[in-house]
Amino acid sequence: MNFKSLQRKAKQMIDKRGGTDSLKADAQELKDIAKGPGSVADKAKRAGDALKEPGAKGPDSSTSAPPPATDTPAPPVRTDAPADAVSTAKPAGTPGA
């Protein structure tokens, strides 16, 4: 096997898809798709669509630009208690309070 020829073809393919940064972005996008929700068939379809465009330009990419702003406001955020707050208060009337 001619490794020099194989190396040259691999470099041409990487350059054609946008270089090593694009290759890394594609790999990250595929990783996100694999770890995301959906059936295996859904993930395979999304991965195939993602690879059609080099450089992780799909919606599943963490490196892509945020979606454009919409005219509809965001739903109100519940502010009763912070989600990460841990209650350390003891109920009234318990021993040791």
pLDDT, one tens digit per residue, over 41-90 is: 999 999 999 988 876 555 444 444 444 555 556 666 666 655 555 555 55
**Which carries the bigger pLDDT value, residue 10 or residue 79?**
10
Look at residue 1 in the predicted model and tell me its pLDDT: 73
Structural domain contains residue 21: yes
Mean pLDDT computed over 28-48 = 94
Q: Does this model's pTM top 0.75?
A: no
Number of domains the chain contains = 1
Structural domain contains residue 69: no
Who's near 38: CB < 8 A, 6+ residues apart? Answer: 46
**CA 70 to the chain's CA centroid:** 21
Structural domain contains residue 17: yes
Look at residue 25 in the predicted model and tell me its pLDDT: 92
Structural domain contains residue 29: yes
The mean-pLDDT minimum among 12-21, 29-38, 73-82 falls in 73-82
46 close to 33: Cβ distance less than 8 angstroms: yes
Residue-range definition of the domain harbouring residue 22: 8-52
Label residue 38 by pLDDT band (50, 70, 90). Answer: very high
User: Which segments of the chain are extended strands (E)?
Assistant: none
